[in-house]
A and B are shown apart, each in its own frame.
Chain A
Amino acid sequence: MEDTVLPSSATNPVDVMFEAFRELVEKDRILKDNIADVAHGMEYWVSRIIAILQKTHAFKDGCDIDLKEVQNILDEVQKYLIKLAALISPVSYYRFYDNFRFVIQKLCFVVTYVHFLKHGILLSRDRVAEILNIKVDPAAGFHLDVEDYLFGVLQLANELSRFSINAVVVGNSVLPFKRGVEGKIIVFVLLFSNETSKSSAFRIADFLYDLDAKFRLLNLKNDGLRRRYDALKYDVQRAEQVVYDLTIRGLKRPADEKSVST
């Protein structure tokens, strides 16, 4: 073997190999940057949807107007999903998975939250993939990973426990104005008449009970999803606290309310 070998000579098969490596790594870097750009663009629209959905905590107007705008933005997001699928399909889905997994999780949360506001039930992964117009089968290339969907559902649980608290706050907002003028009986009549906050609080608690029971069906490994699931019990606890506070004040659980999932 020669004493000195210069990489630029490109006659030695080892040097040729390393030249090829350099080119391969450069191609991968460019592809990775493109994927990150598309995911970043999608993140903008998903964040806008979340900003719109935050208005639900104020309970102003109905949800219908906001949800129409959300649907328009979801159509915009689907364009990015098509671009992302085009970039990823030639190579492996999981090779650059870390660049777009978090925006997919947030997207799952958004879709399930909107569906809960409309129908009060948990959207299944197949339905979420259907709404976003992507596959669920890993063999199809770009697909909705089951763990991303479960992460999104856990974000939904955290948001709903907050939603439950704010629902009661809205119901109680009339209390200070009436206390000095009317008697206690009038105050509670007003509380009883607020059907929205009452239904929301009880309905959310039922939903979270069911969700916790469903997650117990999984055999979660000790990884990120398991750590995220361990926080679910605090969301359930907060919802139970709200139900308890309402119950001891005489507000009863509606008999016909029960959440189901499709």
Chain B
Amino acid sequence: MSKEQDGSIKSYGRGGSRTKRGHDSFADGNDDVGSLKCQRIITEEEKKDFISYQKEMDERRDRYERIVKQSRDVIIECKRIIFQLHRTIIVNTSTNKEEVLNEADRRLKEVRNKMLRQIAEELYSLDHYYYLKSYDWALEEYIEALAFYKFLISGEVLLYSEIIDILQFADLVSEENKKFYIELPEITYLMGLFDVGGELMRLAISEISAGNSNTAVNIVNYMRSLHGCYEFLGNIVHTAEWTKKSQVFRDCLMKVENALYKWKIRENDMLIDASLLT
């Protein structure tokens, strides 16, 4: 503290260089200038308010940083689960495929029961919207992984009510009968569902490359349905991110449609070749 105070005193010298007038006849009156250099000390009573502000702000920032770290872990794990789900196309038998899906389901449950639950505990009885920016990107990734998994299981869209129930943690035991939950704005859910389009496009291209068009047809129907719903919503959020994701989703849909188109064309070419051989 005294170091900064010395810095303040030094600034007197800078001011002096800009004053050119002198008053020699009053030189004796300046003997008290030395008294200006005394150290100013704030009493503990005066510090009390700002120390309480410091503690309040530090507490909020520390919690924010803890949630950010937890969110980063959630994102990393969800991306790994998505990579694992993409490996279903390289397994040969339905038994192996089921094993891959079961492993993914186990890991998704672990993400929810440990990582997301810990975020919910941090946010207990607090205003979730204050900390929303620290965890909504993690929830987007989790929704992407969960929706992708559900498509592989049943081909259906993950509903908002389902993800809300999952984030209630009602089936987990909690001490003192507390009810933990994570606030999920509908915008965050819709953003996460946008991201599924990219994964489904990747899956469709891989399946067509492997010579299987049935999955791609299911994917294109799924994405067309979603695209229609998003167009129905229109530009409900005037943010750059929404516009960007909407465009990317549309591009992914067109890629899948283009892949199916080429598959159809080449299928006929192969049939023609086969007929010539007979």
Residue-wise, chain B 72-93 has the 8 Å CB interface mask toward A (1 for contact) of: 0000000000000000000000
B153 → chain A, closest Cβ, in Å? 14
Which listed residue (A2, A21, A218) contacts B57, Cβ 8 A? A218
Residues of chain A within 8 A of B126, CB atoms compared: 138
B225:A17 contact, CB within 8 angstroms: no
Do B19 and A248 touch across chains, with their CB atoms under 8 A apart? Answer: yes
A14 CB contact (under 8 Å) in B32, B47, B229: B229
B161 within 8 A of A: yes
Q: How far is the CB of A144 from chain B (nearest CB, A)?
A: 12
Contacts of B46 in A (CB 8 A): 210, 214, 260-261
Kindly state the separation between the CA atoms of A92 and B229 in the bound complex, as whole angstroms. Answer: 28
With beta carbons under 8 angstroms apart, the residue of A7, A206, A209, A214 that contacts B228 is A7
Residues of A89-147 whose CB lies within 8 A of B: 92-95, 97, 124-126, 138-139, 146-147
Q: Quick check: is A68 within 8 A (CB to CB) of the other chain?
A: no
* Total number of B residues with any Cβ neighbor in A under 8 Å: 61
Asked if B159 and A14 make an inter-chain contact with CB atoms under 8 angstroms apart, the answer reads yes
CB-contact partner of A216 in B1, B186, B190, B218, under 8 A: B1
B161 touches A17 (CB 8 A): yes
A202 shortest CB reach to chain B, Å? 10
| Residue pair B15, A7 in contact (C-beta under 8 Å) | no
- Kindly supply a per-residue 1/0 record for chain B positions 215-240, scoring 1 wherever the CB is within 8 Å of any chain A CB and 0 otherwise: 00010011011101111110011000
- Which of A55-63, A156-164, A233-241 forms contacts with chain B? A233-241
Question: How near does chain B come to A96, taking the closest CB pair, in angstroms?
Answer: 9
CB-contact partner of B47 in A94, A139, A217, A245, under 8 A: A217
Chain A residue at minimal CB-CB distance from B237? A25
In the bound complex, CA of A92 to CA of B49 (Å): 27
- Interface 0/1 of B21-41, CB less than 8 Å to A: 001011001101101100010
Q: Are B54 and A240 in contact (CB under 8 A)?
A: no
A25 touches B159 (CB 8 A): no
Give the tally of cross-chain contacts (CB within 8 A). Answer: 145
Known: A22-B236, A213-B40, A237-B11. A5 touches B228 (CB 8 A): yes
Chain B residues within an 8 Å CB radius of A247: 30, 33, 36
A213 touches B42 (CB 8 A): yes
Does A44 sit within 8 A of B, measured CB to CB? no
Query: Does A180 count as interface, using CB distance less than 8 angstroms?
Result: no
| B160 cross-chain contacts in A, Cβ below 8 A | 17, 20-21
What residues on A are CB-neighbors of B231 within 8 Å?
Answer: 7
Note all chain B residues with C-beta closer than 8 A to A209: 8, 40
Bound CA span A125–B27, Å: 45
Q: Name the contact of A210 in the complex, choosing from B23, B40, B155 (C-beta under 8 A).
A: B40
B128 within 8 Å of A (CB atoms): yes
| Chain A neighbourhood of B57, CB < 8 A | 146-147, 218-219, 221
Interface string of A190-218 (1 = CB under 8 A from B): 00000000000000001001101111111
- Interface contact A210-B127, CB-CB below 8 Å: no
- Interface check A189, CB cutoff 8 A: no
Residue pair A206, B40 in contact (C-beta under 8 Å): yes
The reply to whether B8 and A248 contact each other, CB–CB distance below 8 Å, is no
Contact A219 B58 (CB under 8 A): yes
Q: Are A240 and B15 in contact (CB under 8 A)?
A: yes
B residues within 8 A CB of A13?
Answer: 159
For the complex, give the distance between the alpha carbons of A214 and B45 in Å: 11
Asked if A250 CB lies within 8 Å of chain B CBs, one says yes
A150 is an interface residue with CB less than 8 A from chain B: yes
Chain B residues with CB under 8 Å of A124's CB are: 49
Contact A95 B129 (CB under 8 A): yes
Q: Are B233 and A92 in contact (CB under 8 A)?
A: no
| A49 at interface, CB cutoff 8 A | no
* A221 and B186 contact, CB distance less than 8 A: no
A21 in contact with B23 given A1-B222, A248-B30, A260-B46 (CB within 8 Å):
no
CA distance A257 to B29 in the complex (A): 20
A109 CB to closest chain B CB (Å) equals 16
Interface hits, A32-88 → B, CB 8 Å: none
- Please indicate the chain B residues that have their CB under 8 angstroms from the CB of A248 in the complex: 16, 19, 23, 30, 33
CB distance from A89 to the nearest CB of B (A): 12
State whether the Cβ of A178 lies closer than 8 Å to any Cβ in chain B. no
A-B contact pairs, 26 of them (CB 8 A): A5-B228, A7-B228, A7-B229, A18-B229, A21-B160, A93-B127, A94-B129, A97-B129, A146-B53, A149-B53, A150-B53, A206-B40, A210-B42, A213-B4, A214-B50, A217-B47, A218-B53, A219-B54, A240-B8, A240-B11, A248-B23, A248-B33, A250-B23, A250-B26, A253-B32, A261-B46
A-B interface, 6 closest residue pairs, ranked by CB to CB distance from nearest: A7-B232, A92-B129, A94-B129, A250-B29, A94-B130, A18-B229
Given contacts A22-B232, A125-B53, A146-B56, 19 further A-B contacts (CB under 8 A): A1-B225, A5-B225, A5-B228, A7-B228, A13-B159, A18-B230, A20-B160, A22-B233, A92-B127, A93-B130, A94-B130, A139-B125, A188-B26, A214-B50, A241-B15, A249-B23, A250-B23, A250-B30, A261-B49
